[in-house]
Structure formats: structure tokens, C-alpha cells
Amino acid sequence: RVVLRKQENYRLRRRQNNVGGQLPQEHLRLVYVLFDITSRRRSSLVRFSHYLLRISHPSVRLRRVVLLVSWPVEGQKMGLPALEFSDCYLDSPLFRERLKSHELELDKTNKFIKELIKDGKALIQALKSLSSAKRKFADSLNDFKFQCIGDAETDDEICIAKSLQEFAAVLQNLEDERTRMIENASDVLIMPLERFRKEQISAAKEAKKKYDKETEKYCAVLEKHLSLSAKKKESHLHEADNQVDHVRQHFYEVSLEYVFKVQEVQERKMFDFVEPLLAFLQGLFTYYHHGYELAKDFNHFKTDLTISIQNTRNRFESTRSEVESLMRKMKENPHEHKSVSQHTMEGYLFVLEKRSFVSTWVKYYCTYHREPKKFTMVLFDPKSGGKTGEEESFILKSCTRRKTESIEKRFCFDVEAVDRPGMITMQALSEEDRRLWMEAMDGREPVYNLNKDNQAEGMAQLDVTGFNVMKKFIYAVETRGIDEQGLYRIVGVSSKVQKLLSLAMDPKTCADVELDNPEWEIKTITSAIKHYLRMLPAPLMTYQYQRSFIKAAKMDNPEARVTEIHALVHRLPEKNRQMLELLMKHLANVASHHQFNLMTIANLGVVFGPTLLRPQEETVAAIMELKFQNIVVEILIEHHEKIFRDVPNSSGSSTNMQLNLSRRRSTQNKAPSCSERPLTLFHTPTHSQKGEKRNTLIFLADVLVKDCAEIKTNVEQLRKILFL
């Protein structure tokens, strides 16, 4: 500002006097500036200085200038002034001011370090609390176990079930690294800062106290010495001079040491103070890097888990719709959808119990088996917390309906037991319930199963017409809309589907059906395929082998699943197997275009599992098996070439059956059926099984004899078929 102001004044005088000249030489001293390389204003200062040099010395080539005089630039931060040792001898007010600025900086640093140590300890404690909370959270995850509905889990459910343990392991691993960081934080951060504050700043404070004390002492001695009278003896004055010189010299030494210590602390804080912070941050970075590496290692499981969750969600949507449908049917007509039970009749009955002074009606859950005429009662009342009493059984002798006028209660009947005297009066829940109990126990035709298991055959059959219709539908789908999104998932209009099926299945109109007509949308054709398969009298994979396919899907070994399903497919009737092969080849072709139609093998399994393996009885337990039905269809699609092209190896099948043989013998006290046992068994006893060798050989011989008899029967049947 000074230079510019003087420059303007000089130019004004020059215009007024109309004389030439240059800026005075003394103004050039303001131009020589130290250009700090780290300064943000270096470029502007350089340009400004070059401009001044240009107007002052036009003939001089621009060059880098050196420091002669410097002035503060607005916005530029000024540091602490240097403390010269020579100023300790002068002890000027300026020196004291400079020393005071250093002391204030040390006080501020000391206060800042105290706050930093306090905040650091709070941070470490917070990290410990966070680590403890996360470990507790991880322990909760690790302790929880999923319980599935049913006796087995799918691969996706197994992956999801162990995900909580995987999450807990990741969190525990992460917290182990955090614990190491916390344990080192005190040694790395807190202790070095405490040591710097106590050893360096405290030493500077002690030196200040000593310096202040020596200053007071020196000033007091000097004032006392100067107050001495000149009339004193020469020896006394000489002694006083020596004493003052000694005190002054000591004061100078203390001053020099204090200045040295102050400047030492100011310089040491640049590394002794910052280095612990850097080490602490490095520990944090190590922890974060460990988390990054842990996340990379976890990425594979995360991808598998995401796929499993999506597959499970898809299966859930299908299962939920089936359960809702069953629930609506049960609401409309509960008797027609009773589950198949091993008991002839079962349900709640109130039994009249006569006691000494009063008779009471007690609620029992009763079951009745017609063959041994065994009647069983279990005391149970849901209102009392669901406690179950002891079981009572007796052999039924007779059952008689109670006349209405003979008892005040409604819906009553009397039961007579073989092994106990008297009549037992029971009350049913309704007139219809009493009728069912009476029919079950009085020798009339019982109602074992009110479900319509043997449904009337519809118009769909596995005949020439059915095969032609399926081939025609499949060809239309593969040529017209195999890339259409949501293929087989999007449902067509029901009326159009029924119309298409009726026209295609009718011999008179089947030739007139043109599937290239825009009237028949792809979703209508795909819905017709699914509806045709549902209209079959029995599912394509038959009721007989439905449970066998489900058991195969529940095997732990994926290769064993494929082998067992391969063998089961070749046990199906010929037409069923041919239709299944036709359908699986088509679905494999659909799955190969999943980038466009978004129908993966898993999605197709969700769509066709309930259709191809529908259970004979519609229950919630059967619906819970849908996930395994889907797995069976997925295996058929993925391995359709091997399953339908190759004949299954009997030894491979027998090996799988042999692995489960001991388990079946422990759960069933009967020989396995023809569909469950192999043609050949190989059994090599281990050292611990040598004692059972004889029993095993006898059992195997019995199995082989029965197998040979069945093979002979099958050969005779095959010979008759070939003859026909």
C-alpha cells in the first residue's frame, strides 16, 4: 500500500512538473521480499514485485530477489519470533514480550494436550463400549438357530440358516482387530502425549519458575547495590560489586537455559506431539484395511446368500398362494378337506364323569381305530394352558345313540367297553359330528378319507392327442415368444385358456387351431400347457413316486440327488416319462434364454414344481414340501440330457440305497418295498461290524430272494406285453 501510494504521488508530481525520473532508491527496499515457496500468494507477490522492479529499473533484467526487508501481507499467518541468546543479556522489553508469546503458546499447547488426552481416553472408552455391544450383538446372532417347517431343508435354506453364524464370525473377527487397536491406543497415543506434557512442557514451566525467581533476585540485588553510598569503604564496595556480578552471571545462565528450553519444546512438539497422532491414525487405518479385506473375503458368501434369499422369496410367494387357496377351501367346506389320518375317527368329545355328589362333563381328545376297535381318550383343555393328561384306552363293545328325551344335553351317545363295566356317555360337538362318530363305531361303512383323491378323469390324457397338443404348444412358444419376459410366470386370461384347450383337445377342431394367430397370446399358450398338466388324472410324476422324489431332493449329497432322481424317472410309466422328457427339454431351452425372459432354472422350478409333483392330499405340510418339489424340477431341467438319455446304473442306485439302509431298518421294522430297495447290495463290514456279519448276510440273502421273485414277475409281465 505504501509503495502504491508513493508511486501515485510521484506520478502526480511528475505530471505537474513534467519532468522525468524514477522511483527513489529507498523505496526499492520495500520490493525485496522473501518469496516463500509454500505461500499461497507467491505468484501474486512475484507479479507485484516484478511490476515494481519494472517501473523502478526498466533496464535491469528481472531476477529473483533476496530478503532484505519483509512486511506482513494481509491474511498471511505470522509465527512466533525467534529468541536470540544475545537478548538474554539485554533483557529488553521486546525480549520479554517475545518470551511471553512463547510462554502463552506453551500454555495453550499444554491445555490442548490435556483436552486431547481427555478426549482420547473418552474415544478409547467409547470404542470399548462399541466393541462390547457389537460382540454381544454377534453372540446373539450366533446363538439363534432357524427352525424350518418339515423334516429337511433346501440348500438355500441351509445357506440362509448358517448366514447368522457367518455374520457373527465376521463381526467377531472385526472386533478382534478393533480390540488389538484399542489395546495399542493407550501405548501409542495417550502415554506419549502424557510423557511429552510431563517431561517437556512441565520442564519448561519449572524453568520459567526458576527464571522468574532469579529475575526477582537479580532485580532486588541490583537495586540494593545501586542504593549503596559512595562513601562506603572501597573493600565493601568491591565486595558488593563482586556479589552483583555473581548474581548477574547466574541470572544470565538461567535466562539462557530457559530460552533454550522454551525453543527446544517449541521445536520438539513438531514431532513428539504429532508422531503419536500419526501412529494412532495408522492403527485406525490398519483396522479399516482389515475390514476391507474381510469384506472382500465375505463377498463370495454374500453373493451366494443373495441368490438363496431371492430363490427363497420366490418359493415363498408360490407357497403363500397355495396356503391361502387351501385356507379358503377349508373355510368353505372343512369336512371335504380333512387330512388323511391313521385313525378312523378323531376329535374332541365331552365325557360325563359321575362322582360322589355331582356329575361333570370333562373334555377329552378321542381317537378310534376300527380294526382293533380301540378307543383312546386323552385329557386336554386348551384353556388351561394346553396341559396334556394321561392316556386312557379301552376296546369298544357297542355304541348307541342317546335319545333326546333321556338326557338334557344334545348330541349325546353311549359307549360300552369290553374291559370296564357300565356305559360311558359322551357328547359330540354337533349333530354332524355325532353322526360321523356313530358311523365310525357302529359297524356301518366308515368314512376314512373325505377327500376326493380319485377325481374323475378330465379331458386331458397322456394319449396321442395330448402329445400332439403339447408338441404344438411348445413349438409355438419356442418360435414366437421364448424371449418374452416372465414366460410361464405371467398367467393368461382364464376364459381364453379354457377356450384354447377345448379347441385343441377336440379332434374335430384341433386342426383348425392356428397358434400363429395374434388372438392366442404367448401367456395364453403357456397357461394352457400348465393347465393341461394339472388336468391329468394324476400328476405327471405320479402319486406313487411323489414321496420318493421328495426324499431324493432331501439328500445331503447333490450327486446322490441326481443319481436317485435319475433312477426314479426311469421307473415312471413310459408315457409319463416321454411327456416329462418333452417338457424338460423345452424348459431347458427356455432357461437358456434367461437373459431375455428372466426365467432361470430356479424360477421354472417354482412354476412347475407344484404341477408335476402335486400331492395326493392337500395339507399345509404338503405345501411346505413345495420347496423340495421345486428342487426336483430344477435337477430335471439342469441334467435332462443325462437323465433321459442314459439308462441309470443299478450299482449306483444300490449304493445310494445302501447308505440309507441302516437308517430305514432303525425306523421301520419291516423289509423295504420293491420301490425302495436295490436289486443288488454290496456290504463290506468294518472291524466294528464283524460281529453282525452273519445277521447281515441272512438279511441280504432274504432281500435277494424277494428281488429275484419280483424280477421274475416283471419279466413275465414284460413278455406278455411284447407278445401283445
Q: Mean of the pLDDT values across residues 28-54?
A: 44
574 lies in a domain? yes
CA distances from 586 to 583, 593, 597, 641 (A): 5, 11, 14, 12
Instruction: Please identify, among 623, 639, 664, the residue that sits at the C-terminal boundary of a domain.
Output: 664
Per-residue pLDDT band for 340 (boundaries 50, 70, 90) equals low
Q: Are residues 357 and 404 in the same domain?
A: yes
Q: What is the pLDDT of residues 166-191, one digit of tens each?
A: 999 999 999 999 999 998 888 888 99
Number of domains present in the structure of the chain: 5
Q: Mean of the pLDDT values across residues 326-347?
A: 73
658 lies in a domain? yes
CA-nearest of 628, 633, 488 to 569 is 633
Q: Are residues 264 and 127 in the same domain?
A: yes
- Give CA–CA dist 227/699, Å, rounded: 131
Residue 34, pLDDT above cutoff 50: no
337 lies in a domain? no
Least confident of 246-250, 385-389, 544-548: 385-389
Per-residue pLDDT band for 237 (boundaries 50, 70, 90) equals confident
Instruction: Please identify, among 664, 683, 713, the residue that sits at the C-terminal boundary of a domain.
Output: 664
Q: Residue 437 belongs to a domain with what CATH number?
A: 2.30.29.30
Q: List helix spans (H) across 197-269.
A: 202-226, 234-268
- Give CA–CA dist 448/435, Å, rounded: 14
Q: Which residue has the higher pLDDT, 4 or 129?
A: 129
Least confident of 8-12, 301-305, 407-411: 8-12
Q: What is the span of the domain harbouring residue 713?
A: 665-724
Least confident of 8-17, 321-330, 399-408, 675-684: 675-684
Q: Which residue has the higher pLDDT, 580 or 84?
A: 580
Q: Are residues 534 and 670 in the same domain?
A: no
Q: Residue 501 belongs to a domain with what CATH number?
A: 1.10.555.10
Angle at 651 between CA 650 and CA 652, to 5 degrees: 90
Percent of the chain with pLDDT over 90: 25
Q: What is the pLDDT of residues 344-376, one digit of tens each?
A: 788 899 998 877 567 788 899 999 998 888 999
Residue 266, pLDDT above cutoff 90: no
49 lies in a domain? yes
- Give CA–CA dist 255/268, Å, rounded: 20
Per-residue pLDDT band for 46 (boundaries 50, 70, 90) equals low
The rounded mean pLDDT for the chain is 77
Q: Are residues 272 and 366 in the same domain?
A: no
| Cβ contact 152:556 at 8 Å | no
Q: Are residues 150 and 236 in the same domain?
A: yes
- Give CA–CA dist 93/126, Å, rounded: 49
Instruction: Please identify, among 281, 303, 330, the residue that sits at the C-terminal boundary of a domain.
Output: 330
93 lies in a domain? no
Write down the pTM of the prediction. 0.53
Percent of the chain with pLDDT over 70: 74
Q: Are residues 127 and 230 in the same domain?
A: yes
Q: What is the residue-wise DSSP string for 439-455?
A: HHHSSSPP-S--S--SP
| Cβ contact 619:453 at 8 Å | no
Q: Are residues 659 and 678 in the same domain?
A: no
- Give CA–CA dist 345/342, Å, rounded: 9
Q: Are residues 632 and 686 in the same domain?
A: no
Least confident of 22-31, 453-462, 615-624: 22-31
- C-alpha cell belonging to residue 688: 466294528
- C-alpha cell belonging to residue 615: 400331492
Q: What is the pLDDT of residues 71-103, one digit of tens each?
A: 344 444 557 888 888 888 888 888 888 888 888
For residue 700, the model assigns a pLDDT of 47
Q: Residue 124 belongs to a domain with what CATH number?
A: 1.20.1270.60
Tell me which amino acid residue 160 is. Answer: I
Kindly provide the residue ranges of all beta strands, DSSP E only, lying in 355-475, ordered along the sequence.
359-369, 374-380, 388-401, 412-417, 423-427
- C-alpha cell belonging to residue 577: 416319462
- Give CA–CA dist 560/653, Å, rounded: 9
599 lies in a domain? yes
Q: Are residues 286 and 412 in the same domain?
A: no
Q: Mean of the pLDDT values across residues 376-388?
A: 76
For residue 10, the model assigns a pLDDT of 64
Q: What DSSP designation does 456 have?
A: P
- C-alpha cell belonging to residue 386: 394346553
Residue 460, pLDDT above cutoff 60: yes
Residue with cell 454290496: 682
Q: What is the pLDDT of residues 672-719, one digit of tens each?
A: 333 333 332 233 333 334 344 444 444 445 545 555 555 665 556 555
17 lies in a domain? yes
Residue 457, pLDDT above cutoff 60: no
- Give CA–CA dist 673/87, Å, rounded: 112
Q: Which residue has the higher pLDDT, 116 or 230?
A: 116
- Give CA–CA dist 101/80, Å, rounded: 7
Residue 387, pLDDT above cutoff 60: yes
CA-nearest of 183, 181, 174 to 135 is 174
Q: Are residues 38 and 11 in the same domain?
A: yes
Q: Are residues 374 and 420 in the same domain?
A: yes
Q: Are residues 112 and 132 in the same domain?
A: yes
CB within 8 Å of 333: residues ≥ 6 apart: none
Q: Mean of the pLDDT values across residues 47-62?
A: 47
520 lies in a domain? yes
